[in-house]
A and B are shown apart, each in its own frame.
Chain A
Amino acid sequence: MRIALFVTCVNDAFYPATGIAVTRVLRRLGHDVDFPAGQTCCGQMHANTGYAAQAVPIAEQFARTFGDYDAIVAPSGSCVAMIREQYPRLIPSAAPVAARTYELSELLLDVLGVEDVGARFAHRVTYHPTCHGLRALRLGDRPLRLLRAVRDIDLVELPGAEECCGFGGTFAVKNPEVSAAILADKCIAVATTGADVVAAADNSCLAHIGGGLSRRRSGTRPLHYAEILAS
């Protein structure tokens, strides 16, 4: 099976460690993974902010780049949701490649049938299920099943876990006061867990949550769950 990594634009520029982690996990499990250099972005920010017409050439670039692969994996629930939900409406010819695009936990559990990736992580971790992973992709407890299989991990439940963190893409800057109010409650919830790490399947949400935590001088650091699986 030919697997391609769609690292996403945010991870490429800001969080390369997440892409490295996905590569390492898949290699460790004996799967090769390609990184097609033509990849750019999924176009989510454009489409969701009201610029769907500008998102079309970005989506076409994605379809051109990944069209030949059996499976495409991305460490981002919201980018995969953009591709699977909106591509078929934006460019119908991209529907097949969109259907073969998976969030990391979907690829590991549903396609490769692996729950224990052989990781060890001796820290207290709380998991925030990001909205698009939870309610658009219906990831359910897939990321948590992978995390529960990690050795030495102390996984603690996040109160109000299923509530949005207030990021919402450009919502964070278009309605910054409301976004900050929602974030404040999420930061309080994270603090009650006493976790060393707040993990999630989306580094954009984690940039928002982590930015709020570091502003509060919290000791909890944000980390994409792929990096825990790679440890």
Chain B
Amino acid sequence: MTGDFRPAAAVALGNPQLRTNLRHATHTIRDKRLHAVGELPDWERLREAGRAIKADVRRRLPELLEQFEQRATAAGATVHWARDAAEAGRIVAELTRAAGATEVVKVKSMATQEIELNEHLAEQGITAYETDLAELIVQLADDRPSHILVPAIHYNRAQIREIFARELDDPPAGLTDDPAALAEAARLHLRARFLSAKVAVSGANFAIADTGSLVVVESEGNGRMCLTLPDTLISVVGVEKILPAATDLEVFLQLLPRSSTGERMNPYTSIWTGVTPGDGPQHVHIVLLDNGRSDVLADPVGRQALACIRCSACLNVCPVYERTGGHAYGSVYPGPIGAILAPQLAPGRHESLPYASTLCGACYDACPVKIDIPQVLVHLRQRSPHPAGERTAMTVLARLMSNPRRWRRSLRAARAGGRVVAAVTRRPALRRLPGPGKAWTDSRDAPLPAPETFRQWWSRTDGGRR
């Protein structure tokens, strides 16, 4: 059923500040990305390489996961397997308690958002502190992220200043909305957390099968702090994050920053392999998360969604996301990728999302790993529940359109109807339609059937020869 996205989108559309913030932010990142991508003469070949590596991973995922587990274990990490959100949450909570901690610092991670880890830990009496600037803003505001990469994209800096002044324990006196001042306030607030935390929780951008390494790509250095200071590091990693070899990073470390932030290179890339005695965390845990991914892998068309590297280029170019923002999607993964990922990871939920797209194809063009998002959207629409009236109308129409004689009669009826309406309204277009047509005429005039169809013109004039 459609229904979930539409009312939520209507709420978002009614917020002019949100519209302004989103338009400004998406267009800025969009232009930066185009510039960064345009610098590389081999961009299309890089995309193709990224697509091919991810397709190879899907074909031999079990073997690569076992190799990863073996190499990571040999390097001193402990690998855990989590079937779903509950299992992953339980593992992280137990490991945190075993480390004698009631607090964790977090590196920004979509996988932990997906499994609602912070909420799960809170139920176990463990407080999770987000350390990414935008995640911190969202957490302080008791809000939800609205973008994969820029979770606070829906706020402007005046709103952020207001959140800091209200929610920080010790907001600097006279805090302004100058970006440097806001960053400094966050830095001071977070420094104490970094220095006292015993446990850090992260995700990973990539998990390297042939070395057992994890990779985190970030911009602020908060990740590097979390990954190196606490004694215990727990990383929750979706099973699709595997790359076969460390050399594959050559492709992805070019694709990801240029697609996500429009930068040639991201500021901080952390790569770690198990435990290094006397240096960094001495207890390294990796939770490999399925949470629906095996089921997605079983769908020959839908499985390409697992190639996603969470760059959010598709969000920034999407005409729908640009107007509604991320909250309207009602999913941790918003925008075009969310519209194909969320309904697949949680079947039966998010059923309106495959329809939250005009199929304009801008997402496919922007995707660094060439996920054919429009194709998957159309594929998922086939199994969405359809409203009964719509199903009947579509079935009747298909019957008419499969038979030329019946179709000719339908065209004649439509033309006759159009003539009657035109005679009554004395207008060439309709300003108000009843029933389902209202959704059209609420914002645009509707055309009337022409007084003469094309095929009538053709037979009357012998194809224009008379």
Is this pair of chains taken from one and the same complex?
yes
B158 at the interface (CB under 8 A from A): no
Give the distance in Å from the alpha carbon of A87 to the alpha carbon of B391 in the complex: 22
Indicate if the CB atoms of B445 and A46 lie closer than 8 Å.
no
Provide 15 A-B residue pairs closer than 8 Å at the C-beta atoms, listed in order of the A residue: A13-B453, A16-B453, A40-B401, A50-B378, A51-B386, A51-B391, A51-B395, A131-B361, A163-B319, A167-B358, A168-B357, A178-B320, A179-B358, A179-B443, A180-B444
Indicate if the CB atoms of B9 and A49 lie closer than 8 Å.
no
Residue in contact with A171 in the complex, picked from B324, B357, B362, CB distance below 8 Å: B357
On chain A, the residues within 8 Å of B382 by CB distance are: 50-53
Q: Smallest distance from the beta carbon of B138 to chain A beta carbons, Å?
A: 24
Indicate if the CB atoms of B398 and A24 lie closer than 8 Å.
no
The 8 closest A-B pairs by CB, nearest first: A168-B358, A211-B444, A50-B381, A180-B443, A135-B361, A54-B398, A164-B360, A57-B402
On chain A, the residues within 8 Å of B356 by CB distance are: 175, 178
Q: Name which residue of chain B comes closest to A132, CB basis.
A: B361
- Interface readout for A7-43 with B: 1 if CB under 8 Å, 0 if not? 1010111111101100110010000011101111101
Contacts A24-B464, A135-B360 given: A55-B398 contact, CB under 8 Å?
Answer: yes
Indicate if the CB atoms of A176 and B443 lie closer than 8 Å.
yes
On chain A, the residues within 8 Å of B378 by CB distance are: 47-48, 50, 52, 86
B436 at the interface (CB under 8 A from A): yes
- Interface residues of chain A: helix, strand, loop or mixed (majority): helix
Indicate if the CB atoms of B453 and A215 lie closer than 8 Å.
no
Q: Which of B13, B381, B383 has the most chain A CB atoms inside 10 A of its CB? A: B381
Contacts A16-B450, A40-B403, A164-B358 known; 14 new A-B pairs at CB < 8 A: A14-B449, A19-B458, A20-B454, A23-B463, A35-B455, A40-B402, A65-B404, A86-B378, A171-B357, A174-B2, A174-B355, A177-B13, A182-B358, A214-B445
Interface size on B, residues (CB 8 A): 67
Q: Which of B320, B354, B356, B384 has the most chain A CB atoms inside 10 A of its CB? A: B320
A181 at the interface (CB under 8 A from B): yes
B411 at the interface (CB under 8 A from A): yes
Contacts A164-B319, A168-B359, A174-B6 given: A15-B401 contact, CB under 8 Å?
Answer: no
Interface size on A, residues (CB 8 A): 73
Q: Name which residue of chain A comes closest to B431, CB basis.
A: A215
A189 at the interface (CB under 8 A from B): no
Give the distance in Å from the alpha carbon of A33 to the alpha carbon of B429 in the complex: 31
- Interface readout for B319-337 with A: 1 if CB under 8 Å, 0 if not? 1100110000000000000
On chain B, the residues within 8 Å of A181 by CB distance are: 13, 19, 323
Q: Name which residue of chain B comes closest to A41, CB basis.
A: B401
Indicate if the CB atoms of A40 and B362 lie closer than 8 Å.
no
Q: Name which residue of chain A comes closest to B408, CB basis.
A: A37
Q: Name which residue of chain B comes closest to A54, CB basis.
A: B398
A149 at the interface (CB under 8 A from B): no
Q: Name which residue of chain A comes closest to B461, CB basis.
A: A20
Indicate if the CB atoms of B429 and A131 lie closer than 8 Å.
no
- Interface readout for B368-395 with A: 1 if CB under 8 Å, 0 if not? 0000000000100111101000110011
On chain B, the residues within 8 Å of A170 by CB distance are: 355
Chain B 295-336 residues near chain A, CB threshold 8 A: 319-320, 323-324
Give the distance in Å from the alpha carbon of A171 to the alpha carbon of B378 in the complex: 12
On chain B, the residues within 8 Å of A164 by CB distance are: 319, 358, 360, 362
Chain B 149-178 residues near chain A, CB threshold 8 A: none
Indicate if the CB atoms of A13 and B319 lie closer than 8 Å.
no
B415 at the interface (CB under 8 A from A): yes
